[in-house]
Chains A and B, each alone.
Chain A
Amino acid sequence: MAGAVIQRLLSSLLVIAGASFLVFFILYLLPGDPVLMMLAGTTFTPEAAANLRHQLGLDQSALQQFLRFAGGLLQGDFGKSLVSDDPVLPKILSQFPATAALTLAGTLIAVVFGIWLGVLSAVHRGGIIDLAARLVSLLGISMPTFWSGILLILIFSVQLNWFPALGSDGWRTLVLPAAALGLVGSGFIVRMVRNSMLEVMNEPFITTLRAKGLPERLVMYRHALRSALIPALTIIGIQIGELLAGAVVIETVFSRQGIGRLLAGAITAKDLPVVQGVIFFTAMVYVAVNLLVDLSYTLIDPRVRRTQ
């Protein structure tokens, strides 16, 4: 099992290296000149522009720039913002807790609703409840988050005045954005749980349990769901990545702090070091979360432990 963990760690490192490469070159190849952006609105001489280009190392070859960028990342140096001249990593770290709280709350809502509706849907297959659950999941998947976010604001903040629509101080400001985010996540989980439940329900061991006269409730919730949970867990791992990405939109709609908002602002301002930093940081979080999910299989399912 230790070998499997090491193998998993190594492949994670490879993914992170690949992410740094992609992040750098995608932004490197984008049109637009960061030097001209920085000098916008000033009268400048060609020499001043060349000087600045040299100071920023933008006159070096792409490879040199990449090596400098990757070397910096290894030392925890994400570069400096072109706009505010602040180091990027502290900026990200100061904004991350807000995003983490939002993503966790969103995941919690997605998981609780997703698993619950998924099981209900499978148990009452073909009935009204199944139809309703599938409809809700379809809505969750297909509604753009900015739209569901605005809808939640209009209903629960403007009309009912139950929750504040904006800001990121205290749990009350977390409810609406987390619900908007969780709605999307739960949609996928409902479908996943429903499908794997239906599969498991056809397995011989379920028939055996039923034949033994075990109450249907126990068969479903204690035995079938446990087996059905493994594929759902994978989806949850992927979902956390999706939710992190969704935070860009949600944080803007709800005027929250967070790295998504930081990213959105940096993109508009063409603040490349910040854009690179946030994307790379998010990739690392994503890899870490999925590593944890993979390792948690061994805890949930004894079969996985044995085959390793």
Chain B
Amino acid sequence: MIRSFRAFPAAALSLFVLLAGCGAPPATEPKPAQGAAPAASAPVQGGTFTYALAGSPSGLDPNVVPGAADYRVMRSLYDSLVVQLPDKSIKPWLAEEWTVSPDGRTYTFKLRKDVTFHDGTPFNAAAVKYNFDRIVNPATKSRFAITLIGPYESSEVIDDYTVKVNLKSPYSAFLSSLGQAFLGIVSPAAAEKYKDQLVKNPVGTGPFKFVSWTENAAITLERNPAYQWAPALAENKGAPYLEKLVFKIIPEEATRIGSVQSAQVSAAETVPPQNLISLKSDPNVQLLQAEATGIPYTLMLNQDHAPWNELDARKAVQLAIDFDAIVKTLYLGTYPRAWSPLTPSVAGYNKELEGAVKPDLDKANALLDGLGWVRGADGIREKNGKKLTIHYVDGSPNREKRNDIAAMIQQQLKKAGIAVEVEITSDTSTALMVKGTNDLAGVSNVSGDPDILRSFFHTNAIPNANKWGHNHTHKSDPQLDAWLEEGLKEQDPAKREEVYKKVQKYVIDHAYGFPVYVFPYTVAAGKNVSGFKFDSLGYPLFYDVSLKGS
């Protein structure tokens, strides 16, 4: 029993002392380099690199999972047949060379002979065939790789290190897709052993091997000492410099950034705009940035609902929104404005669209007047007793301040007499894909090939209650379909780029979608980190990383 209550102040005081005084510096604090600075040409071996992820990966089986967080971990575990360099050229990786049949439907890959999976089994033609067949097998429940592999038909093992891949139709984005980690090669032996639990027991041929996954806390990888088959993207050619690579899951922004500043993690992803400015002046931190490649954040206007099936109505919305003001206000000049439904680094990006559309409220008003929408007493336009309203659907939580974009557009469109009802929901998929109640909805996507436009503007991508799709314009446009299919089949890169330039211009000219910003994937890293890179999709690469003075 509690006898003397005088003990309380004393206990409290000692607790306070405990709270205040006993912290030894954390083990991860960088020690100053000993003696002379190491020569720049010789990266330091060893050390543990901790990378703070903003969200938890859902799994690590590339054939199945679709997420960006998944990708960031998987890239170190799995190698691909080919690699795409930032200049868009495709270079060898696990495949040493390849030939494409004149009809564009057959790809023959000659594979490296010196590659082994982390479980000791050899990488060969049978492994490649196993992977591709596994992706298209419905039992695998692939959620993204199946899209990337496109019109895949079958694979044939020609000899141990030669594999022939047959496609149902020409697919010009095939090699670029093969370079993504989602088409990275898993060990067939491991896939057989773990089946659907490969997501928690990944085995590949990559520079790092999987060690452990503590849910909601960390994923630990260790160096693969046998690694000798690095892609042309990397400078290192042998085993990675780092001993260990640890991914920590830190969803809270302030904690994530604070952890880099206090050197509790080596680097953290997705620095919010308000922190960018202060971090730039932090002597202990370096900022590294890559454009998220593919579809920038773009607002799509649903043409299923009148009056948005009319060009003049869509144009009025396009002209009444001042996107420059929105992007500058919300991102403090740290995010670039987007002009095209493709980001600048994708092949075929149409640079002519930059600055092509300028806000013009008078013209927007004139267009709506012309359509017979007359302002009512509350300033909102009406026609046949119906108010001019846009139903704007956006997701929760407020990712990249997208909810604030909605709020600003609401204010701006009011000036043109358009009412905007904003629906913020954590279940956007039902609102967009099933019910299709949206007039305006924003999307973005990561991809290295302009063929990604097909997933957002082709008739086959229009969603309904039974079909998933990302064509939120709900417009079946024969002209766009024709170009998108032409781009898919065209083998000549220059001609292909021209096709996609036409698509981008068409989307802007006809006000199908309004590009807003290009997301700069920003990493804050300690000053002792060197060799940190991004791949051509803007995902981080850890293979070349080394830590000074660790």
Contacts and interface: CB of A to CB of B under 8 A. Distances in A.
Interface string A88-126: 000100110000000000000100110110011000000
A150 B142 CA distance: 39
A31 B415 CA distance: 34
Given A116-B8, A119-B5, A32 B258 contact: no
A161 B370 CA distance: 65
Interface stretch (B11-19, B171-179, B374-382): B11-19
Interface stretch (A7-15, A130-138, A167-175, A200-208): A167-175
Interface residues of A, number: 66
Interface of B, helix, strand, loop or mixed by DSSP: loop
Interface string A184-199: 0000000000000000
A285 B227 CA distance: 49
B255 A217 contact: no
A270 B430 CA distance: 12
A68 to B, nearest CB: 23
Most buried by B among A42, A109, A166, A262: A166
A256 to B, nearest CB: 8
Interface in A129-157: 146, 150, 153-154, 156-157
Contacts of B250: 166, 255
Contacts of B36: none
A222 B468 contact: no
Interface in B403-433: 426-427, 429-430, 433
B255 A166 contact: yes
Contacts of B259: 157, 165-166
A21 interface: no
B8 A166 contact: no
B433 A161 contact: no
A151 B248 CA distance: 21
Contacts of A109: 15
B321 interface: no
A179 B430 contact: no
B119 interface: no
A49 interface: yes
Contact of A40 (B11, B199, B468): B468
A158 B434 contact: no
B261 A252 contact: no
B433 A116 contact: no
B143 A221 contact: no
B202 interface: no
B384 interface: no
A36 B254 contact: no
A128 B59 CA distance: 57
A45 B468 contact: no
7 contacts: A31-B430, A41-B143, A44-B468, A160-B23, A161-B29, A167-B217, A300-B1
Interface of B: 1-2, 4-6, 8-9, 11-12, 15, 18-20, 22-23, 25-26, 29, 56, 58-59, 66, 141-144, 146, 196, 199-200, 214-218, 248-252, 254-256, 258-259, 261-262, 264-265, 397, 426-427, 429-430, 433-434, 466-469
Interface of A: 31-33, 36-37, 39-46, 49, 83-85, 91, 94-95, 109, 112-113, 115-116, 119-120, 146, 150, 153-154, 156-158, 160-168, 172, 175, 179, 217, 221-222, 225-226, 252-258, 261-262, 265, 267-270, 300
